A = this chain, B = another copy of it.
Amino acid sequence: MVQKGYGATSISDIAQAVGMTKAGLYHHITGKQDLLFQILIHAMDGVERDVIERVKQIEDPEKRLREIIRLHLRRLFENGLEFALLFPERRHLEPAQQDAVVQRGKNYLGLICVALSELADQGKLRDLDINIAAVHILQIITGVARWCMQDTGISEDHLVEQAINFGLSAVLER
């Protein structure tokens, strides 16, 4: 589903990928839509556990922002890129499920906004719109995953380092 997209991935495809038939798979899921929903929830739980929970305790907002980018990218590389690539597929869900997904996405965005606000309080931030800057940073994170999944050569460490550098340079004064 990550490779072909929600619409182009049939239940048969998924069943075959896990070594089952359609009907066998349906014993474990309640429907295609709900499967996508569960995947998104699962992916966001992972982000919450591996990123949000770990950076909470970092006092310095600059270090925290660096860690947000680093941990999120590491997660994307190690796990299946689900969050970055499947997030736009939320349009195939029921409105209520869409809201649930969007809500959690906005919570995550809020985490970045808080870090930027604290940087602003310390006078370390450029003159910029914090909400928009937060979107840009999140866009960089997911963009790297989107672009570099077929890309060759470039090492993950280098990508992470460059992304952090780029994002921080964009927002920090001086």
- For A169, give its contact among B126, B129, B162 (CB under 8 Å): B126
Given contact pairs A88-B146, A143-B143, A158-B129, A136 touches B166 in the complex (Cβ within 8 A):
yes
Residues in A77-111 with C-beta less than 8 Å from chain B? 88-89, 91-92
A150 to chain B, nearest CB (A): 9
Which residues of the partner chain B approach A142 to less than 8 Å between Cβ atoms? 143
A170 within 8 A of B: yes
A166 close to B133 (CB less than 8 A): yes
Q: What is the 8 Å Cβ interface bit string for chain A, positions 113-137, against chain B (1 contact, 0 not)? A: 0000000000000101100110110
Instruction: Report the separation of the CA atoms of residues A64 and B157 in the bound assembly, to the nearest whole angstrom.
Output: 31
Copies in the complex: 2
Interface centre among A3, A128, A154, A170 (most CB of B within 10 A): A170
What secondary structure prevails in chain A residues at the interface with B? helix
Which residues of the partner chain B approach A163 to less than 8 Å between Cβ atoms? 132, 136
Of A5-13, A21-29, A41-49, the stretch lying at the interface with chain B is A5-13
A65 within 8 A of B: no
- Chain B minimum-CB-distance residue to A151: B135
A159 within 8 A of B: yes
A68 within 8 A of B: no
A144 within 8 A of B: yes
A140 within 8 A of B: yes
Which residues of the partner chain B approach A174 to less than 8 Å between Cβ atoms? 174
A4 within 8 A of B: yes
Instruction: Report the separation of the CA atoms of residues A132 and B151 in the bound assembly, to the nearest whole angstrom.
Output: 11
Residues in A22-81 with C-beta less than 8 Å from chain B? none
